[in-house]
Structure 1
Amino acid sequence: MKGNKRFIFRLCAAAALFLSLFPLQAGECTLMSYNVKNGTGMDGRRDYDRTARVITEEKPDVAALQELDQGTIRSGGRDTLQELAARTTLTGTYAKAIDYSGGSYGVGILSREKPLSVKRIPLPGREEARVLLMAEFRDYWFCVTHLSLTREDSNASIDMIAALAAKCSKPFFIAGDFNLTPDSEPITRMKKYFILLSDPAQKTFPAGHPKECIDYIWMYRGKKTEAFHVKERRVIEAPAASDHRPVKVTVSY
């Protein structure tokens, strides 16, 4: 028994010495949101390589994408998300919002890690059905949406998303095209539940000469929020690959 205790003591001492010499590094995560307009640029040309380069150059750990075709006639039966996933070497996770042109149209997530679990939640949208895609990762949930153009539907969606976030045991991030300007009433409502990580003073739309911010990255209040700190936040200079510019936030924890 004494020999075992001495061994355990020495093992603990060695571990303590190792940690003092090589302290654990804090975590860091780069989040991105990009309305890719189905890979179609400001010149009207669909170019998956061009869109993928914009994403790859920023090296996101997770990216929320909006306006994705899957198997539509418009896109020649191709899957926009998987075309981008192949070019960025990231994992693609898709959620259909509506049936469209012989296929579907929706949102997706590109990620370095494969999600542990995925949820697709329908959201209100009287002009067009909307959806929330939730992906669980080891350290957090990351979600994407593309909200309705109708204020009442946006408000209802925000309440639904907040209720879902409150039930998650991990930090909860959400990103997307909210179709809302920073001074709108639904964004004020959003701030009751979520911390805005991206900079609303930086314009995102239209991409060529941005006049307004409608794309955002948020974190739900609570759930170890105090451990996360924004290291970098900016809108990417990408005026041609889509009609939106991408938003990027790097957080440390």
Structure 2
Amino acid sequence: MDDNINLKVMSYSIRHGKGLDGKASLSRIAEVITKAQPDIVALQGVDRFMPRSGFRDQLKRLAKLLGMHACFSPSVNLIFVQYGNAILSHYPIISKEIQYIGGSKERRSILVVKLQINENVVTIVNTHLGVHMKERIKQNPILWSALEKLEQPTILAGDFNMSMDDPFMKRLSSRWTKVTLQNNLPTMENGMEIDHIFVNMPTELATAKVLPYGASDHYPVIAEIRWQYSKSKAEVGENSSNLL
């Protein structure tokens, strides 16, 4: 059965909801997401039970506010406080895998989930790489190896802390297609473009834009992606609605 898949995917590094005004507000993050109306959100910089964000489970709160399924990758896991990557989805999450990729200042991770979209399964990858080059030199080969194992169709999103002129990003672009920004804006308040969305399959439509909201020090990137996908019906796993 041939299906036309249309997805709106957001990548958003939220800095635990701390905006450009220095104030933390998770409700502002939820408002930004609501205005954009994405099907899937790849979040980086999410707190769970951290003192700096009022000991709240930010992912659980966002999932409830937005009415979305959710899963989490705790890059930093200290007893009961966590910090890491998350995925929100209007489609059922049928599986998740976490791969840790190290880091000198804080541990980083790759979150890989499979979504059930009608009769099709689509893979979403979310990552947040280190700020310093010496960290990324160690992390990049692990990420590359993980990506090489993935089948089509997969969407890769994240805060890479690298612009597209970085050698690793150029190598990535040789195998994956970057969803190009249409409004040519930075993805961070310092003027850099370091948040990206990629696909590993031919598309009929793949465009992205930056939404310049000040709810974080990063601006969300939202992509519209359409492709033809032909595959037999996949089995949906049990307990697929929430993999926090």
TM over 0.5: yes
Partner residue, 1:74: 52
> Match for residue 236 of structure 2?
none
1:103 lines up with 2:89 in the alignment: no
Distance in 2 of aligned mates of 1:119 and 1:40: 28
Q: How many residues align?
A: 221
Alignment of 1:54-133 (within 5 A): 54-99=32-77, 103-133=81-111
After TM superposition, the structure 1 = structure 2 runs for residues 181-200 of structure 1, keeping only pairs within 5 Å, are 181-199=163-181
Unpaired stretches in structure 1, ≥5 consecutive residues: 1-23
Q: Given the alignment of the two structures, is residue 234 of structure 1 paired with residue 209 of structure 2, yes or no?
A: yes
| Contact 2:179 2:206 survives alignment (8 Å) | no
What secondary structure sits across from 1:136 in the alignment? strand
Q: Tell me what 2:224 maps to.
A: 250
Looking at structure 2, the residues matched to 43 and 219 of structure 1 have their Cα atoms a distance apart, in angstroms, of 34
Q: Distance in 1 between matches of 2:106 and 2:168?
A: 18
Structure 1 vs Structure 2 CA RMSD = 2.1
User: CA offset at residue 170 of structure 1?
Assistant: 3.4
Q: Distance in 2 between matches of 1:67 and 1:101?
A: 18
Q: Cα deviations across residues 95-127 of structure 1 (Å, max 9, x unaligned)?
A: 101135950111101101121110010013223
Deviation at 1:82, TM superposition (A): 1.4
Amino acid at match of 1:114: P
Structure 2: gaps (5+ residues): 228-244
Determine what percentage of the aligned residue pairs are the same residue: 27
TM-score normalised per structure 1: 0.80
**One of 153, 156, 163 as aligned partner of 1:174:** 156
Query: Which structure features the higher share of helix residues?
Result: 1
SS at match of 2:174: helix
- The offset of 1:187, in angstroms, is 1.5
The CA deviation at 1:168 is 2.8
Greater relative contact order, per chain length (Cα 8 Å cut-off, separation 6+): 2
Retained in 1: the 8 A contact 2:180–2:206? no
Q: Matches of 2:26 and 2:4 in 1, distance apart?
A: 34
C-alpha distance in 2 between matches for 1:115 and 1:147: 24
Give 1:242 shift. 0.8
Q: Secondary structure of the equivalent of 1:242? A: coil
Q: Which residue is equivalent to 2:133? A: 151
Distance in 1 between residues matched to 2:175 and 2:140, nearest whole Å: 9
- 1:90–1:185 distance in 2 versus 1, CA, 3 Å: same
Aligned residue for 1:182, secondary structure, equals coil
TM-aligned CA deviation for residue 234 of structure 1: 0.4
Separation in 1 of the partners of 2:180 and 2:102?
A: 25
Larger radius of gyration: 1
Residues 89 and 75 of structure 1: CA distance in aligned 2, closer, same or farther (over 3 Å): same
Letter in 2 for 1:154: R
TM-score by length of 2: 0.83
- Tell me by how many angstroms 1:162 deviates: 3.2
Q: 1:72·1:101 contact (CA, 8 Å) conserved in 2?
A: no
Do the aligned partners of residues 229 and 153 (structure 1) sit closer, same or farther apart at CA in structure 2, a change above 3 Å counting? farther
2:188 maps to amino acid: F
